[in-house]
């Protein structure tokens, strides 16, 4: 499977350093422009199916992409949502005690389980196709950890993807995956 992964465009909360978690999020004018530039940059790619987080910031980014791919199936899923930060949603990053998160905040293990369901489904249904996943920074880190079989404890060490950054990975059954592009934002230059 040829897997393309991208993060949503910049949001109001991104620039204000507010934790969004599973809140919908609203793209800024810059975020909309980023999504349009991403869409333009991949307009000639053959994309068989798009899996997108159902949160507004991701689905709005997906909508820009589908302007060039109107016949491509889009699957909106809760499984690709950002981490559920519960009581921390809407608070500044600086207000979060990252070393002592409350027990009700979704763990990396819980995130990995739900995200893996979608990745497994995509691979099972589209092993010889091109799949685009539109999601969130934390979700991409988990996807990378699953693909490369990194332990859960290493997720936080994975570089966070920029808004509309593109990663392309050729996934193979023998797990000898080839990374063609990683966290690339050339389309924004």
Helices first, then strands: H and E counts in the chain = 5, 6
- Length of the chain, in residues: 189
Model confidence, pTM: 0.96
Domain ranges of the chain: 2-188
DSSP character for 178? E
Assigned superfamily of 2-188: Phosphoglycerate mutase-like (3.40.50.1240)
pLDDT tens for the chain, 189 residues long, are 999 999 999 999 999 999 999 999 999 999 999 999 999 999 999 999 999 999 999 999 999 999 999 999 999 999 999 999 999 999 999 999 988 989 999 999 999 999 999 999 999 999 999 999 999 999 999 999 999 999 999 999 999 999 999 999 999 988 899 999 999 999 999
E runs forming strands in the chain = 2-7, 49-53, 73-77, 130-135, 166-170, 178-184
State the residue for tokens 């936080």.
Answer: 156
Q: What would the pLDDT profile of 99-125 be if each residue is shown by its tens digit?
A: 898 999 999 999 999 999 999 999 999
């Amino acid at each position: 499977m040829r897997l393309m992964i991208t993060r949503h465009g910049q949001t109001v909360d991104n620039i204000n350093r507010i934790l969004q978690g599973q809140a919908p999020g609203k793209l800024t004018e810059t975020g909309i422009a980023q999504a349009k530039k991403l869409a333009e940059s991949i307009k000639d790619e053959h994309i068989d199916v798009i899996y997108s987080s159902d949160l507004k910031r991701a689905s709005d980014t997906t909508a820009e992409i589908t302007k060039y791919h109107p016949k491509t199936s889009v699957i909106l899923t809760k499984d690709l949502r950002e981490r559920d930060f519960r009581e921390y949603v809407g608070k500044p990053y600086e207000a979060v005690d990252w070393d002592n998160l409350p027990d009700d905040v979704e763990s990396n293990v819980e995130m990995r389980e739900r995200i893996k369901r979608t990745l497994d489904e995509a691979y099972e249904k589209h092993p010889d196709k091109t799949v685009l996943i539109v999601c969130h920074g934390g979700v991409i880190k988990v996807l990378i950890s699953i693909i490369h079989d990194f332990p859960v404890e290493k997720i936080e060490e994975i570089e966070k993807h920029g808004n509309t950054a593109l990663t392309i990975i050729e996934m193979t059954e023998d797990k000898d995956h080839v990374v063609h592009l990683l966290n690339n934002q050339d389309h924004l230059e």
